[in-house]
Amino acid sequence: MSNSISEIIKKEKLNKADLSYLLSLEGKERDDFLKQTGNHYINSLGKKVYFRGLVEFSNYCTKDCYYCGIRKGNSSSERYDIDDEAIIDAAKFAHENRYGSLVLQAGERSDKIFTDRVTALLKEIKKATNGELGITISLGEQTEEVYQEWFNAGAHRYLLRIETSNKELYYKIHPKDEQHNFEKRIECLRTLQKVGFQTGTGVMIGLPFQTYDQLADDLLFFKAMNVDMVGMGPFIEHTETPLYKYKDDLWPLQRRFEVALNMIASLRLLMPDINIAAATALQAIDPMGREKALRYGANVIMPNITPTTHRKDYTLYENKPCTDEGAEDCSNCLSIRVEMAGREIGYNQWGDSKHFFNRQIDKQ
C-alpha cells in the first residue's frame, strides 16, 4: 500500500483496498492507526457515549444458526422467558438511572402471541417512563405490518444483524432454507428503513473461512445500505454449535479482538456520523475491551440490566462477561469504564444517530 495511514485517514472516500489494508494492520502500525482514528473521531463527534440498558428477555428461538448458543437445535440450552412485570421493572430502572434508552432483545420469533406481546410491552414501557425512555429493539425478521405496529407502539431504533454480507459465507454459518434466507434479511433491513426506524445491522469478526477482503466488503455494505447504527464484535465459538468443529482453524482470540477494533476504527472513518456499539464480546477477550472500543470509534455502550437469574442463560457465545452482576453493579462498572476511556456519559439522552437525521434531510 503506497499511501501512509495518515493519507488514508484524510481521504474523502475509502475503497476496498484501503479498508482491507487497515483491517490487516498489526503492531506499531496498528497502534498508530487506532490513535489517529481516535483523535479524528473525538474532533468530529465529541466525547459523549450513550447508555442503552439491555434486557435479554427470552432465549427461545426459531432459528438454527450454526454459531449461536441459543439456536433452536441446542437441547442443552436452559430456556427462559422473563415475565412482563420484570421487563417493565427493568425499564423503570433504566429510566430512574438516567440511561436515556433501553434495548429489548430476544431469540427470533414471529408468531402472533410473541409479536402482540412485544406491542403491549412497548406501550407499557412508554407509559411507565412518561414517554421519556428511548427504545431500541432487536427481535429479528418480521413482516412490514409487525414492524409498523412496533414503531407505532413506541420503538424507534431496530438492530437486525446480518452477521456477514458475503452470501457464500452466510450459508456456511446458517442453514440454507426459508428460515435463514440471505435476501430476506437484506429486504427486512430495507423495510425497517421504509417504516421509519433508525436501522442498524452488524457482523461477526473472525469467523471460520473469513478474509480481510470480506470484512472490508462488510464495511462497504453498511455504507451502501445507508445504515444508522452498527453493532459488531469478535466471533467467539460455542461448544454446542456446528461451527465449533472449526475451532482450530480460527484466528487466535487476541487477533479477533485486534481486527474487531480495526473494524470499529475503519467504520468510524467510513461513516463518521453513525452510532457504533462497544460490543460485550470484546470484554470477553480483553478485560478493557469495551473501553478500547470507545477510544477508537464506538459511542454506544449497553449495560446489561436483564434480571441476574436469567442473564447466564442468554449465551450466544461462551465466557460472556458480567453474567453474575446485578443491574446496579453493571451500571456502576460501566460508568467507571467510560471515564477511564476519556469519554462522558450522555445521561438522560436518547443519543440518536446523527446519520439518521442527515439521511432524512437528504431524502427531502
Q: How confident is the model at residue 1 (pLDDT cuts 50, 70, 90)?
A: very low
| 5 in a structural domain | no
Strands (E), 26-142: 48-51, 53-58, 101-106, 134-138
Give the burial string for 29-63 (b: 16+ CB within 10 Å, else e). ebeebbebbbebbeeebeeebbbbbbbbbbbebeb
| 8 in a structural domain | no
pLDDT (0 to 100) of residue 290 = 92
Summarize the confidence of residues 323-350 as an average pLDDT.
76
Higher pLDDT among residues 42 and 262, named by residue: 262
Res 324 pLDDT > 70: no
pLDDT (0 to 100) of residue 41 = 80
pLDDT (0 to 100) of residue 43 = 77
| 1 in a structural domain | no
CATH number of the domain enclosing 280: 3.20.20.70
Contacts of 127 (CB under 8 A, 6+ apart): none
| 151 in a structural domain | yes
Summarize the confidence of residues 8-32 as an average pLDDT.
95
- What is the residue range of 185's domain? 16-363
| 9 in a structural domain | no
Summarize the confidence of residues 104-125 as an average pLDDT.
98
Q: Are 44 and 272 in contact (CB under 8 A)?
A: yes
Question: What is the tens place of the pLDDT at every residue in 245-258?
Answer: 999 999 999 999 99
| 161 in a structural domain | yes
pLDDT (0 to 100) of residue 322 = 55
50: nearest Cα among 296, 340, 300, 228: 300
> Looking at the 3D structure of the chain, how many domains does it have?
1
Residue with cell 431504533: 157
Query: Helix axis angle, 253-270 relative to 27-45, nearest 10°?
Result: 40
| 45 in a structural domain | yes
Res 2 pLDDT > 50: no
Res 171 pLDDT > 80: yes
| 313 in a structural domain | yes
pTM of the model: 0.94
Distances (CA, A) of 33 to 66, 257, 266, 343: 34, 15, 9, 19
Q: How confident is the model at residue 364 (pLDDT cuts 50, 70, 90)?
A: low
Distances (CA, A) of 270 to 6, 10, 23, 41: 14, 11, 13, 11
